[in-house]
C-alpha cells in the first residue's frame, strides 16, 4: 500500500465530518487507507465514524493519550509506505495528496513534505520554519512569519526547511521510523518540530510545497480548553528547548515563562478550583522543567 492517512480525534466530530468527506471526495489516486485514532471521545465520534464512514479503520484508545502517542499508535497499525498525519480540522482539495506524494517519490533523499496551510481565500498560516530557539522564535514571530506569509501568497518554488507542521505532514515511513516516531513526552505541541529535527539529524531532507494547499481551521480541539492548552504549549516548548537547545536559550525561555506566569497571576487567570490546580502545574513546570510528566 502506498499511503496511510492517520487522523487523531478527540471530541471533534463536526470538523472530522468535513475532513473525512473531503478525503472521500478527493481521494488520492494511490492505493491508500484512512485510519482514525480516537482518544476516548465522549461526543459519540466512535459510533458515528463506524456508521458514516465504514471504510475508515477506527482505532480506539482507552483514554486521551495525546497527539504524539495516538499518532504513533496509528503508524504502528498502518501499512503504507508513506504516512500522512492529518488534523481533524483540515479539508483536503482535489489533487493535494497526489501532489505531496509525487514530490516525495521524485526524490529519495526527502523524508517529509508539507503543503501551504490556508484558513481562507486570503489567509495563510505559517506551517514551516528553520531553527527553533529563543532568538529564532522571536525573529520568526516578529519578522519571518509575515515574510513567509507574503511568499506563500505569491506561490514560489519548493523550499528546503527545518520543520513542517503536522496539521498536514507527509512522511516517508523509513524516515519516520529511523527518527523514532513522535516523542510521546510531547502531549501536544512541538512534537512535529521535534520529529522533523530528528529526521534531519538522521540525514533526511524536508520540503515545503507551496503549490499544494490544504485548508486548516486551527485550534479546533484546543479552543474549548484554552487555558489548559496554553499550559501544554508552554510545557512542550520548554521540553523542546531542554532537548534541542543550549542552556542559555533554555534559561531565557524559563525567565520569560516566569514573567508570563506572574502576569497571568496578576490578571486573575487562575480563578476557581481548576485555576488553582493549573497554577500549581505552572509552578511545578518552572521548578522541574518540561520533560517531566
Give the mean model confidence (pLDDT) for residues 173-183.
98
In the chain, % of residues over pLDDT 70: 91
In the chain, % of residues over pLDDT 90: 69
Q: Are 85 and 171 in contact (CB under 8 A)?
A: yes
β-pairing, 57-60 vs 32-38, is parallel
What pLDDT score does 228 carry?
A: 85
Q: Range(s) for CATH 3.90.550.10 in the chain?
A: 3-216
Looking at 3.90.550.10, 3.40.640.10, 3.40.50.2020, 3.60.21.10, the CATH number of the domain 3-216 comes to 3.90.550.10
pLDDT category of residue 131 using cuts at 50, 70 and 90: confident
What pLDDT score does 41 carry?
A: 95
pLDDT beyond 80 at 75: yes
Sign (positive/negative) of CA torsion 142, 199, 26, 76? negative
Q: Are 222 and 214 in contact (CB under 8 A)?
A: no
Give the mean model confidence (pLDDT) for residues 161-173.
97
Give the mean model confidence (pLDDT) for residues 267-279.
89
Q: Please give the DSSP secondary-structure letter assigned to residue 206.
A: E
Q: Are 84 and 3 in contact (CB under 8 A)?
A: yes
Where is pLDDT greater, at 149 or 173?
A: 173
Q: What is the pTM of this model?
A: 0.91
Amino acid at each position: 500500500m502506498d499511503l496511510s492517512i492517520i487522523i487523531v480525534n478527540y471530541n471533534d466530530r463536526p470538523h472530522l465530518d468535513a475532513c473525512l468527506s473531503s478525503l472521500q471526495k478527493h481521494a488520492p489516486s494511490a492505493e491508500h487507507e484512512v485510519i482514525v485514532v480516537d482518544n476516548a471521545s465522549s461526543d459519540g465520534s466512535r459510533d458515528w465514524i463506524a456508521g458514516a464512514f465504514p471504510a475508515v479503520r477506527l482505532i480506539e484508545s482507552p483514554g486521551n493519550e495525546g497527539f504524539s502517542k495516538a499518532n504513533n499508535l496509528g503508524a504502528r497499525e498502518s501499512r503504507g509506505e508513506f504516512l500522512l498525519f492529518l488534523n481533524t480540522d483540515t479539508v483536503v482539495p482535489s489533487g493535494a495528496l497526489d501532489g505531496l506524494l509525487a514530490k516525495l517519490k521524485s526524490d529519495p533523499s526527502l523524508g517529509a513534505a508539507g503543503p501551504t496551510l490556508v484558513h481562507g481565500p486570503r489567509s495563510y498560516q505559517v506551517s514551516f520554519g528553520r531553527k527553533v530557539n529563543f532568538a529564532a522564535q522571536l525573529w520568526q514571530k516578529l519578522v519571518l512569519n509575515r515574510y513567509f506569509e507574503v511568499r506563500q501568497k505569491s506561490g514560489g518554488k519548493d523550499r528546503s526547511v527545518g520543520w513542517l507542521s503536522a496539521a498536514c505532514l507527509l512522511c516517508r515511513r523509513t524516515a519516520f521510523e529511523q527518527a523514532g516516531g513522535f516523542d510521546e513526552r510531547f502531549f501536544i505541541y512541538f512534537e512535529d518540530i521535534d520529529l522533523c529535527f530528528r529526521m534531519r539529524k538522521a540525514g533526511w531532507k524536508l520540503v515545503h510545497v507551496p503549490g499544494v494547499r490544504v485548508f486548516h481551521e486551527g485550534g479546533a480541539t484546543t479552543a474549548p480548553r484554552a487555558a489548559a492548552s496554553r499550559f501544554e504549549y508552554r510545557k512542550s516548548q520548554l521540553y523542546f528547548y531542554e532537548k534541542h537547545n543550549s542552556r542559555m536559550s533554555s534559561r531565557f525561555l524559563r525567565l520569560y515563562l516566569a514573567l508570563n506566569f506572574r502576569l497571568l497571576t496578576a490578571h486573575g487567570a487562575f480563578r476557581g478550583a481548576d485555576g488553582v490546580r493549573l497554577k500549581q502545574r505552572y509552578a511545578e513546570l518552572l521548578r522541574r522543567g518540561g520533560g517531566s510528566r
